[in-house]
């Protein structure tokens, strides 16, 4: 058990520490990061950031022919290959597919990664997505970020609490819709047009998935689906040809209220959605502008 540190010690530690420059992407399965987050990761890597990559589950159900151990080993190799495309740090999975639950044991393992990486930016999946593994992976990441500084929150393996601010951004759900078929509008768009081919190369590293879908749905359908999502997000932005969309999480327990390091680092490659921000400012008086999941909608939607 790590001893509790005083507020003075926290302040001194923060003053001495140099600003962290790491981003950690956490998703449920191998290839989830590539589909919805990789373009932003590539841009941050190009900006000089340390990039970290973690799939909670090992991909053990991503096959119609292999045994669980065999497909999990193959998909681990593929994920490592995807990381090598951009020089990202690979972190091991902690459980099988369909076992991504919000348990104390799983939180402790994700917490250890957060404390080790000390991310300034944490990229997570949507809080509302078509698959429960995705939703639970998001919850695990949020809890780990929230308790990163709690001295009585044990990680596995044990690591000391950290006091760094972390800003959490949620990716768009797979398919850009929530489970009730509603289009999700992001609050921030990132222009990934210049890195789309690199993102495609990362996704293509997951050959077991690509080849299976090529056989069942047509050549390169796997990669083309990713590009379609990026094109649709770009169209929503009204500015970019290809984009990834993000929603910034409430700062409480994580960072300062106005922290938005993604916009600061990427500059004009980012576009804030004005309808989203407007609805946040007036959500109490204009509740009709917010969907049932709390996702702001533009007038006319």
- Domain CATH code at residue 239: 3.40.50.10320
Overall domain count for the chain: 1
pLDDT at 165 over 50: yes
In a domain, 9, yes or no: no
Q: In this structure, are residues 166 and 255 in contact, taking their beta carbons and an 8 Å threshold? A: yes
In a domain, 296, yes or no: no
Tokens, residue 268:
């004009």
In a domain, 295, yes or no: no
With bands split at pLDDT 50, 70 and 90, how would you rate the model's confidence at 295?
low
In a domain, 89, yes or no: yes
Using the Cα atoms of residue 83, residue 84, residue 86 and residue 91 in order, give the sign of their dihedral: positive
- Give the pLDDT confidence score for residue 34 in this predicted structure: 98
H or E stretch covering 116:
helix 104-117
In a domain, 301, yes or no: no
Tokens, residue 98:
């369909």
In a domain, 222, yes or no: yes
Q: Domain of residue 111: give its range.
A: 19-289
Strands annotated E in the chain? 22-27, 50-55, 89-91, 121-124, 167-171, 188-191, 243-248, 270-272
pLDDT at 148 over 50: yes
- Give the pLDDT confidence score for residue 177 in this predicted structure: 96
In 10 A of CB 109, how many CB atoms?
21
In a domain, 7, yes or no: no
Task: Quick: pLDDT tens for 44-101.
Answer: 999 999 999 999 999 999 887 889 999 999 999 999 999 999 999 999 999 999 999 9
- Using alpha carbons only, give the angle 15, 267, 244 rounded to the nearest 5 degrees: 110
- Calculate mean pLDDT across residues 208-212: 77
Sheet strand arrangement including 89-91:
89-91, 50-55, 22-27, 121-124, 167-171, 243-248, 188-191, 270-272
d(CA 220, CA 217): 9
d(CA 282, CA 109): 39
d(CA 19, CA 109): 25
pLDDT at 260 over 60: yes
- Give the pLDDT confidence score for residue 10 in this predicted structure: 55
pTM of the model: 0.88
Task: Quick: pLDDT tens for 191-206.
Answer: 999 999 999 999 999 9
- The DSSP letter of residue 247 is E
In a domain, 298, yes or no: no
With bands split at pLDDT 50, 70 and 90, how would you rate the model's confidence at 209?
confident
């Amino acid at each position: 058990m790590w001893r509790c540190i005083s507020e003075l010690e926290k302040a001194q530690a923060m003053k001495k520490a140099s600003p962290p420059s790491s981003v950690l992407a956490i998703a449920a399965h191998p290839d989830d990061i590539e589909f919805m987050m990789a373009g932003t990761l590539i841009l941050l890597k190009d900006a000089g950031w340390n990039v970290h990559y973690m799939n909670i589950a090992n991909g053990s159900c991503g096959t119609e022919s292999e045994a669980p151990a065999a497909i999990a080993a193959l998909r681990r190799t593929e994920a490592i290959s995807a990381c090598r495309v951009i020089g990202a740090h690979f972190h091991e999975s902690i459980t099988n597919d369909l076992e991504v639950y919000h348990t104390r044991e799983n939180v402790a393992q994700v917490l250890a990664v957060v404390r080790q990486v000390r991310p300034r930016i944490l990229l997570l999946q949507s809080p509302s997505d078509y698959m429960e593994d995705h939703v639970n992976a998001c919850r695990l990441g949020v809890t780990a970020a929230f308790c990163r500084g709690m001295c009585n929150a044990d990680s596995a393996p044990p690591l000391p609490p950290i006091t760094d601010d972390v800003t959490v951004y949620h990716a768009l759900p797979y398919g850009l819709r929530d489970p009730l078929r509603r289009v999700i509008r992001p609050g921030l768009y990132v222009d990934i047009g210049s890195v789309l081919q690199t993102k495609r190369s990362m996704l293509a590293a997951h050959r077991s998935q690509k080849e299976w879908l090529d056989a069942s749905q047509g050549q390169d359908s796997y990669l083309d689906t990713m590009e379609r999502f990026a094109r649709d997000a770009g169209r929503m932005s009204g500015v970019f040809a290809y984009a990834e969309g993000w929603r910034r999480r409430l700062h409480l327990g994580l960072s300062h209220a106005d922290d938005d390091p993604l916009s600061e680092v990427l500059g004009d490659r980012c576009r804030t959605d004005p309808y989203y921000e407007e609805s946040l400012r007036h959500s109490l008086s204009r509740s009709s502008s917010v969907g049932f999941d709390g996702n702001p909608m533009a007038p006319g939607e």
